[in-house]
Structure 1
């Protein structure tokens, strides 16, 4: 079994990394091999080993394959800004073909579950012509959409689902992640999305803002996710 998915979000901070890590951790718990790639990460710290991104390090911690950091996060920028702007500031130009090459190297290692996490939302630019959606298209893998449940999420979600479909990719499922603990009419919003999205809902994840340790949030998140649908 070799399952591969692109983890997209409705926006920045929708919870892509937590959900991706929880899915990988759940797969590990079933004895499956796991791998992950975050092709582009902006918002890194400078360490003795080079630039390091917290999201990418969390993903690496859930990989059973012996990957090194640069395989999981091949393109890293220090500034926590849109990646294409960070690249421009450093006189660089990212290209989808190059990102796809980095990512394919991990996909080819054949883990039972490999997740590729995007950055921000679906149309985040890579350069003046390409977006991260073009990377998902180049890889031709199904998409799992993480929905940040807050006011306005219905519009953001339906537009993203429409874009994924128009780009010719399969939406394998979506996760409702309660990023706003005070969201009004949460259940009604979830029901609306369920009625309008022609893909399975893989989980309703409660708000974990009171849990300060990322690994503990990942552990708690596992109980609310349906991994089996993705493994079929």
Structure 2
């Protein structure tokens, strides 16, 4: 099982929940795991430096354990688009620098390595490059996380089209019920899922319901299957 990049149909689509859930599922099956968050904005100051909650979740589900900086080499405090957060501290993110910072983690060659993007597919790194270029540069298959809410079909289809237009394989998609009201009409909810399954033309890795606070990744693993290698 090679490395894959996890992207979302939009921001707050549930990428970290699905990524952590897949890593937790892999651990249940006795596989070694690694979650990477190449760049993260919205990080909090600590005695050890800036720490991002999504990256910490991925670190917690990486086995054998790895240092935080392996998981998240680029952390920024402002909760804004990464290229803008980097600019505020006088840094320009580049594809080459991002790729180099991932070299150590990717060299670990875990059974399952998942790189979680930031926001959606076309989030910029700078004026010329975006995070989608990272997947292209590394030749990574892509997992699409669809935030299940009003408008998700359009967002998911456009993202899947963009992934394929960039010459990458859509290895699968997973739904995350980020808006609990979206599932209140059971028949309509099932119709939406059926439309996604038909139009995305990729394996569905699972549908994760709205989960209560707590060990959400472990709970999410119950609803997921691992992508095929």
TM score, norm. by length of structure 2: 0.95
Aligned to 2:81: 82
Aligned to 1:195: 198
Aligned to 1:115: 114
- Residue 149, structure 1, aligned to residue 144, structure 2: no
Partner Cα separation in structure 1 for residue 64 and residue 228 of structure 2: 18
Partner Cα separation in structure 2 for residue 186 and residue 81 of structure 1: 31
- Are the counterparts in 2 of residues 65 and 111 from structure 1 also a CA contact under 8 Å? no
Aligned to 1:160: 159
Aligned to 1:10: 9
- Residue 29, structure 1, aligned to residue 28, structure 2: yes
Aligned to 1:135: 134
Partner Cα separation in structure 1 for residue 56 and residue 141 of structure 2: 23
* Unaligned stretches of 5+ residues in structure 2: none
SS of the counterpart of 1:120?
Answer: strand
* CA displacement 1:52-90 (0-9 Å, x = unmatched): 000000000111133100110000000100011111111
**Cα distance 1:231–1:197, how it changes in 2: closer, same or farther (>3 A)?**
closer
- Are the counterparts in 2 of residues 3 and 231 from structure 1 also a CA contact under 8 Å? no
* Unaligned stretches of 5+ residues in structure 1: none
Partner Cα separation in structure 2 for residue 207 and residue 122 of structure 1: 23
Question: How far did 1:217 drift?
Answer: 1.0
Question: How far did 1:139 drift?
Answer: 1.1
- Residue 204, structure 1, aligned to residue 207, structure 2: yes
- Are the counterparts in 1 of residues 9 and 159 from structure 2 also a CA contact under 8 Å? yes
Question: How far did 1:105 drift?
Answer: 2.1
Question: How far did 1:231 drift?
Answer: 4.2
Farther off after superposition, 19-28 or 102-111: 102-111
Partner Cα separation in structure 2 for residue 127 and residue 68 of structure 1: 27
**Cα distance 1:206–1:66, how it changes in 2: closer, same or farther (>3 A)?**
closer
Query: RMSD of the TM alignment (CA)?
Result: 1.0
SS of the counterpart of 2:193?
Answer: helix
Aligned to 1:220: 219
Paired residues in the alignment total 225
Question: How far did 1:104 drift?
Answer: 2.9
TM score, norm. by length of structure 1: 0.94
SS of the counterpart of 1:195?
Answer: helix
